[in-house]
Amino acid sequence: MTRDDGQSSTRQIGPIAVLLSLVYGVLAAYIFCFSGSFGRLGEYWWFDVALITITITASLSLAYVSLLIISYVRQKAVESGDPTDFTWHFLIPCRDEESVIAETVSAARTSFPDAHIWVIDDASEDATAAIVTDIMDVDDRTHLISRVLPEARTGKGKALNAAYRSVSEFVGADLAERARAVIGVLDADGFLSDNALAVLSGPAGFGDDTLGAAQLEVWMKNRGDKRPRPGRNWFLNLLGRFLIRMQDIEFRTSNSAMQQLRVTTGTVGMGGNGQFTRLTVLDALTEDHGEPWGNKLSEDYELGLNILTRGFRNGYFPQAHVSQEALPYFRRLLTQRTRWGQGIMECASNLPALRRSRVLRFPGFVEIHYFMSQPWLMMLNLLLIPIVTAVAVVQGFFGFVTDAATWIIVLTGLVFVVLPYALWGPLYRRWGPEPIGRATSVLLGLGYLVYVYFTYFYYPRAIARMVTGRNSWAKTKRNADDVLVTSTFTPAALQVVPLLDQNSLTELAEELEGRDEYAEEIVSRFALIWPRRLANLQRAVAAEDVLATSDAIASIRVSSTMVGARRLQVASEDFTTLVEAREFDAARAALPRLARVGDDTLVEIRSRFLDLPTRGQH
């Protein structure tokens, strides 16, 4: 969407917002203030204030959700562009990410061969740096930025600023080159859809000179996992699957709709995964603030606010996506969302500068201030609704048995509370990639209503942390940290099979005009793509998807045959047998052994064909 399109949409959304607010306001006023079901106005001043406050917050909330739904169903396709018009640099902040970083770098480099990957190791205590160094040996577009204490571990914003300085130096002072450079930020477990850079390069993306930054839609890559809590009982795994699916619905429907609404109001926010910014915009922020990223807990949202304040436009593109892990554990989800909630509230200090800049139209001004006030409004509701309801029950205003009108009012209120949130289930079915039945989508919508109320758990914690001055960054534990990804041994039956067949590579080199460098390029490519192939297989097995698992293991089998990785070929053939028999329990158990054979193969390739040191196995 161009600037002119955005201004036109803003003019359309304003009257709709006013109308919805009035309609919901009248209904809420009748239900809470004038129906008599919750008491009579004029008896107690504090009770009147409580009823009026609930009326206002309820009507605003329903109007906002309705605007989100309207924006979501209006989403349109965008025209793709040519990614080679720009140079791409992906920043990946890491702190103890050995369980996921190889897959992330492998996916980024094999999907986007022209992109540069900059891994920021923030004083990790595990093998993160060693894994990235191994990849650098076979790929000259992967870079490692090592931060050490005491500068390290001082916040994600500081880590990104260190990467900005490195990329800035790498790009050089040529203004034309700096204008072509786009800086993306990925989580250590994130990967982009194959069309991401094409969408971002289009006329609605960085092909429009007025666009300063862009955010992609976020998907949950483990949404199909049947056993997200390995080794736990069926109920806990069911709960884990519920949490994962709810997070996927959240990001692909209501959160995406919020961003699409913000496109029309000019208030798109940046996320921590899948954000892209022009290098020249980061340069401008450096002029203003000394460095582009701030150090708030939500440094991503802070960046977006500063970009808007500087007069640039932020865009949002649901036509492409970035994937990340959903959390199947409530405690970890609570930790993550508490940090996010506190970070958003910290960004309130950026609003005065945004107001002084006068870059926002009135709808944008209202949207961004309403969003920033939501934690406090939710806390008001959390306190007032139980009090008002209890008083109404004690004083006998609820005549549930004899008063049919009260029942109608209560049921009407429930419809207005439930429907705006439950609709996201059917909308998820309409725009989601997986086939979901109508009944299932309704159940998912009702489940999402329950999930939304989890907000009442983490906003109080976030407010308490902020009030007490606690702003430490609590890292969320990775799901893979609990899983044995690579076995510590190789079965005896496989040990007798050679890791590499020299004859196969010799024949391959002869077919390639006898050029040894061609063979080296092939084995280097094999080493680079191996983590991605293994991760694809792991996800397919976790989802018990026969077709996806068959395709993933076939990719490993064919590629290992091509480079003469004899032991890996045999192991993949054995694994194929398990898949064909649909023995997924056995396949899960075999995955760490297959991973071990793959890692051993890479070590052998490094020593025999690439003349590289074997730094060990990870």
- Tracing tokens 């196969």 back to the chain, one arrives at 504
Mean per-residue pLDDT, 80-108: 96
pLDDT of residue 485: 67
Sign of CA dihedral 342, 345, 350, 354: positive
Tell me whether residue 251 is in a domain. Answer: yes
- Which of 316, 339, 360 is the last residue in one of the domains? 360
Residues 163 and 301 in one domain: yes
Nearest to 63 by CA among 93, 94, 24, 100: 24
* Per-residue pLDDT at 9: 54
What residues are paired with 119 via a beta bridge? 92, 144
How do strand 313-324 and strand 211-220 relate by DSSP bridges? Answer: parallel
* Amino acid letter, residue 319: Q
pLDDT value at position 505? Answer: 64
pLDDT for 564 beyond 90: no
31-76 pLDDT per residue, tens: 777 777 777 777 778 888 888 888 888 888 888 888 898 889 888 8
Neighbouring-strand partners of residue 217: 321
Sign of torsion over alpha carbons 505, 507, 509, 511: negative
Q: Could you tell me if residue 68 is inside a domain?
A: no
Q: What pLDDT, on the 0 to 100 scale, is given for residue 535?
A: 95
CA 270 to chain centre: 11
| φ/ψ (deg, to 5) at 146 | -100, 120
Beta partners for 121?
94, 146
| Residue pair 224/236 in contact by the 8 Å Cβ criterion | no
179 and 316 part of one domain? yes
Higher pLDDT, 382 or 427: 427
Average pLDDT over residues 10-38: 73
CA 217 from centroid of its chain's CA atoms: 8
Does the bond joining 531 to the residue before it have cis omega, within 30 degrees of 0? no
Q: Residue 318 class from Cβ within 10 Å (0-12 exposed, 13-18 middle, 19+ buried)?
A: buried
* Within-domain flag for 474: no
Q: Is residue 454 part of a domain?
A: no
Using the 3D structure, point to which of 340, 360, 380 is the last residue of a domain. 360
Higher pLDDT, 284 or 605: 284
Per the structure, the count of domains in the chain is 2
**CATH of residue 576:** 1.20.120
Statement to judge: residues 353 and 502 lie in one domain: no
CA distances from residue 538 to 527, 548, 571 in whole angstroms, order as listed: 18, 10, 15
Angle at 321 between CA 318 and CA 327, to 5 degrees: 115
pLDDT digits (tens, 9 = 90+) for 198-250: 999 999 999 999 999 999 999 999 999 999 998 899 999 999 999 999 999 99
- Name the β-bridge partners of 183: 89, 277
Q: How many helices (H) and strands (E) does the chain have?
A: 24, 8
Report the run of H or E that residue 37 belongs to, with start and end. none
- The yes-or-no verdict on residue 510 having pLDDT over 70 is no
- Exposure on the CB side of residue 404, measured as CA atoms within 13 A: 0
pLDDT reported for residue 398: 58
Residue type, 468: T
CATH, residue 162: 3.90.550.10
DSSP state letters, 424-487: HHHHHHHHSSS---HHHHHHHHHHHHHHHTTHHHHHHHHHHHHHTT-----PPPPGGGGS--S-
- Looking at the DSSP bridge assignments, the partners of residue 87 are 181
Q: Flag the least confident range among 218-222, 375-379, 426-430, 586-590.
A: 375-379
What's the pLDDT band for 334 if we cut at 50, 70, 90?
A: very high
Q: Which two tokens stand for residue 569?
A: 């070929």
Listed residue (484, 478, 595) closest to 535, CA to CA: 595
H/E run at residue 577: helix 566-580
The domain boundary, picked from 326, 360, 394, lies at 360
Residue 164 included in any domain: yes
Rounded to two decimals, what is the model's pTM?
Answer: 0.91
Mean pLDDT across 150-162:
93
Distance of alpha carbon 575 from the chain centroid: 32
Burial label for 467, CB within 10 Å (0-12, 13-18, 19+), is exposed
Full residue range of the structural domain in which residue 592 is found: 484-608
Domain-embedded: residue 288: yes
Q: Which of 316, 249, 365 is nearest to 17 (CA)?
A: 365
The candidate with the shortest Cα–Cα distance to 371, out of 305, 312, 274, is 305
**Does 197 reside within a domain?**
yes
Tokens representing 205 are 């993306």
For 538, the token pair is: 């792991």
Would you say residue 187 lies in a domain?
Answer: yes
Is residue 114 domain-shared with residue 253, that is, in the same domain? yes
The answer, yes or no, to whether residue 581 has pLDDT greater than 80, is yes
Instruction: Kindly indicate the confidence band of residue 182, based on its pLDDT and cuts at 50, 70 and 90.
Output: very high
**Token pair 């996800």 is at which residue?**
539
